[in-house]
A and B are shown apart, each in its own frame.
Chain A
Amino acid sequence: MMVRRSERLRRAREWARTPVGSVVIGVGGPLLLSVPVVLWLNASPFRPGFLYVAFVAVLAALGGLGCGVVAAVTSVAALWFVSFAPKYSIATRTADDVVSLVLVALSLAAVLVVVRRLDLARLRAARARRESDEGERRERLLLDVASALGSARDRDEVRAMLRNTIVPAASASSVAVLELGDGPGTYGMIAGYDDVVDAGGTYSVGERRTPARVSATTGSPVYLDEPDLGREFPEIARIATRLDEHARAAVPFELLGGRGAVTFGFSQRQAFPEELRRFLETIGLLVGSTLRRIDAVTRSEEHNLAVAFDAMLHGVGLYRAVRDEAGAVVDFEVRHLNRQATELRERLAPADGLAASDGSFPLAGDGGLFEALVEVVESGEPFLRDPWWSPVAGGEPVPFTVQVTKSGPDQVLLVMRDVHAREAQRREREASLVRTARDRALISRLEDALLPDELPALPGHRIRGLYRAAAHEPVGGDWYDAIHLPDGDLALTVGDVAGHGLDATATMVFARSAVRALLADGMAVDEALRRVDAIMASQGAFVTCWVATYSPARSAVTIASAGHPPALLGAAGSVCVLDTPVGPPLGVDAWRRPTATSVDLPDGGVLLAYTDGLVERRTRALDHGIARLVDALTIELDGSAAPDWLDRVVARAIGDDAVGDDLCVLALARGWDFRHPSPPLLGAHDDEGDDAGPGDGPGDAADQARSKLAAIVPPWRKRVRRFPFTS
């Protein structure tokens, strides 16, 4: 209430100082005072005079100089009227009285004038001082504000500056900045309207006419004290009343591609003195230039980014998060898409359930991209998915590498790389691995099927077979076979089909089955080969084949060969080549036929048949390979008859040579017991080889073996190629 009373007094004094107020009070006051003066007529002429003087002084003090002068004139006129009007018999007054009255009046007026002058000077000085202080403060403030705004990087900092510094300096209670761009305009950087502002710090009023909009549109400042506001903006005035706001000012500024205005609200009525106006307008200009600079920098940054993005081979998208009233990210606005991203967007299916501002995201599928973007915006942690399968309209999903990073407040950068080619390669590689594995499995099964499941067992004998495929060819044309015959004999076969690959394998299967069937039927080896040859000749095949039957009862081996390399016979520490007669290979339409030959397999001896892969070398003569095999077998004859005995023979025969062909070896050992470290030597006369012990001297045994071999070999002595025995 005190405030309001003093306010009324202040307003009354201000009114009294106006010309009208001065005249009204100056004239009315003394006239009213004339009533008691008339009543006191004749009592004392000085008393009413003093009374008037005192009254004039009061009026002058209260109402100002003008009021005082008017009152003084009126008082003198009233005194003159009262004192000298004939009606009131003033004639009785002495001239002294009149003179003294006038002198008193004049002197009092003079005193009044002097006092008033002094008072005015003092008041003026004080006011000037006050105003100059205020101005200085605002000037300093303006400098501070200008410098602070100059370094402001975003609108938040501008808002902080407005709220913390400018609003108090302007004695304002609230501030807001209206920016008019392409849209209806939004209020931002708001302070003092906490209850109407949304969470994002902005407030949209649509197309409503407000002082700020008028100012921004016209480019002129708008100053509205309470009555003006009510008259020109009744709607705003009602809101203002509710907010206890009694004056409003709006100062315009320019934006890049738009206009704007800073609007100030005042909780007291404002006369908006010139100085305040200049201050506010300057603030408006500063805010405008700051916002322009911020926008220009942002645009330039975005432009630079866009240029950089466009130069990239990956698809790059720059998005800005759009938040709802609760501050949750509800959408992403596309700020920039480079050419690749645009192409991707056109290629890819529309996003499922994803409503980006411009209608589509470049990536969809798998789902969760939106959530990923939100996660990146909120946490700042980058996101990477590789590969990300995205559906294509009417096609197979396309794989991408997707990378999302936060590039600014509420801004994310999405980098997409089409890894279609890489994924295709990877898939091809995997498929090829699967294929290879399948092929391997198939080949392995085929090999299992082609080779004998289990070599037959014969008491006192050991049969070993070995097949080794060529490095580059999983299945070849070589085979070995061993079966029991109905009469208790054993049939042994080693064959080789010329050529490689599945054709050779097929021919091999045929030849092997044919030979096996004929031998199992009890046919003699040479006759069996002749039959098979007759069949194969019509097929244009070329197969070498070595066939033998072994009679345990007679220890005799009957051999027939169709173009096959000679078998070896080792015994008593020496090895010889069984250069038995050789017929032409099967399938060659030759007139000569294979013939059968019998040799004795001594106790402790071993018969070794093989295919040319073991002995044939590109750079050496065939005999050289055979000689090496002879040496290898000779050495291993003296070694231990371990389970890998045959492997060791082969390894020794091959040495470091590169073998381009597949090979197989079949060995029949008599009287060998692989459980013993070394084979019994020839000369143990027991027919049951298992029981033979190493009782006889090796030298003696070797001599016997040689003599025995010599006895075996003579019929084809001229064809036998001997190799030096290694002892």
Chain B
Amino acid sequence: VTGRQAIVGCLRWIGPDGRGRATRQEEHGVHDGATPAAFAVEPIDGGIVLAGEIDIAAADAVRAELARCTSAARPVTVDLRDVSFIDSSGIEVLCAARRDAERVGGSVVLRSPSDVVVRVLEVTGLDDLFPIEWSAADGS
């Protein structure tokens, strides 16, 4: 998995309310260079929050963040509320995290996946692989 060019991407801090605060910018290795990838990975207690486009450019960052959570035997929550795009690379990272977590007796729980995520999980036949947790705010 390689990011061929280094292009400035935007790393947003996602607050507990799920809203992004533009607090810092960092450089990321990104996908094909056509457009800067915009994604965010925010560690929270017991998991991470993902936002933006979770593709091959984001895969490494997400994988690294998830690896820190899945080393313990406890549920890892992945908040996918603000994910606008996810491709097979992103799904692959989630699957790998789930596999790693289950090896040590843990699990990966998807919280409030966006429609885009739900549809991709459905198409790839993974809609019943992950436990999904809907937060109360989702209903509105």
Q: Which residues of A contact B (CB under 8 A)?
A: 470-473, 496, 498-501, 503, 540, 542, 544, 561-566, 581-585, 587-590, 592, 594, 612, 616, 618-619, 621-623, 658, 660-661
Contacts and interface: CB of A to CB of B under 8 A. Distances in A.
Interface in B62-83: none
A497 to B, nearest CB: 8
B2 interface: yes
Nearest to B4: A472
B126 A563 contact: yes
Given A542-B88, A542-B96, A588 B34 contact: no
A60 B1 CA distance: 134
B88 A496 contact: yes
A618 B128 CA distance: 24
A585 B126 contact: yes
Contacts, number: 97
Contacts of A564: 124
12 contacts: A471-B32, A472-B33, A542-B92, A544-B88, A582-B122, A584-B126, A585-B95, A588-B129, A619-B85, A621-B115, A622-B120, A660-B31
Contact of B124 (A471, A584, A660): A584
B129 A590 contact: yes
A472, A499, A660 — which one has the most chain B CB atoms within 10 A of its CB?
Answer: A660
Contacts of B19: none
B32 A540 contact: no
Contacts of B139: none
A498 B116 contact: no
B51 interface: no
B41 interface: no
B136 interface: no
Interface in B105-135: 115-116, 119-120, 122-126, 128-129
B116 A500 contact: no
A561 B59 CA distance: 24
A660 B32 contact: yes
Given A585-B95, A589-B99, A498 B89 contact: yes
B91 interface: yes
B55 A618 contact: yes
Interface of B: 1-2, 4, 31-35, 53, 55-56, 59, 85, 87-89, 91-92, 95-96, 99, 102, 115-116, 119-120, 122-126, 128-129
B63 to A, nearest CB: 11
A498 B88 contact: yes
A717 B96 CA distance: 32
Contact of A582 (B4, B55, B96, B125): B125
A253 B3 CA distance: 85
Contact of B128 (A563, A585, A592): A592
A565 B95 CA distance: 17
Contacts of A501: 1-2
A479 to B, nearest CB: 14
A138 to B, nearest CB: 91
A616 B87 contact: yes
A592 B2 contact: no
Nearest to A591: B129
B43 to A, nearest CB: 23
A555 to B, nearest CB: 27
Given A473-B4, A589-B102, A660-B31, 6 more contacts: A472-B33, A581-B125, A588-B126, A618-B55, A621-B116, A622-B120
A542 B32 contact: no
Contacts of A563: 123-126
A483 B91 CA distance: 30
B59 to A, nearest CB: 8
Contacts of B126: 563, 584-585, 588, 590
Contact of B34 (A582, A592, A622, A658): A658
Nearest to B31: A660
B129 A503 contact: no
A500 B96 contact: no
Contacts of A562: 125
A631 B12 CA distance: 37
Given A472-B32, A499-B1, A618-B85, A592 B96 contact: no
B124 A544 contact: yes
B99 to A, nearest CB: 5
A567 to B, nearest CB: 12
Contacts of B35: 618, 658
A562 B31 CA distance: 25
B111 to A, nearest CB: 20
The 8 closest A-B pairs by CB, nearest first: A582-B125, A542-B92, A563-B124, A498-B92, A498-B88, A588-B95, A660-B32, A563-B125
B115, B120, B125, B129 — which one has the most chain A CB atoms within 10 A of its CB?
Answer: B125
B125 A500 contact: no
Given A503-B1, A660-B34, A612 B129 contact: no
Nearest to A540: B96
A582 B33 CA distance: 32
B125 A561 contact: yes
Contact of B119 (A470, A619, A622): A622
A470 B125 contact: no
A542 B124 CA distance: 11
B125 A661 contact: no
A622 B129 contact: no
A589 B116 CA distance: 23
B125 A622 contact: no
Contacts of B129: 584, 588, 590, 592
Contact of B56 (A499, A566, A594): A499
A581 B123 CA distance: 9
A585 B124 contact: yes
A618 B30 CA distance: 14
B49 to A, nearest CB: 20
Contact of B89 (A499, A582, A594): A499
A564 B91 CA distance: 12
B31 A622 contact: no
B31 A582 contact: no
A337 B123 CA distance: 79
B33 A584 contact: no
Nearest to B38: A618
Contacts of A472: 4, 32-33
A542 B125 contact: no
A561 B32 CA distance: 28
B91 A498 contact: yes
A695 B119 CA distance: 42
A245 to B, nearest CB: 92
Contacts of B31: 660
B32 A470 contact: yes
A542 to B, nearest CB: 4
A500 B56 contact: yes
A562 B35 CA distance: 30
Contacts of A500: 1-2, 56
Contacts of B92: 498-499, 542, 585
A658 B54 CA distance: 17
Contacts of B119: 621-623
Contacts of A619: 85
Contacts of A585: 88, 91-92, 95, 124-126
B28 to A, nearest CB: 16
A581 B125 CA distance: 8
Contacts of B128: 592
A623 B119 CA distance: 8
Contact of B123 (A499, A565, A588, A661): A565
B53 to A, nearest CB: 6
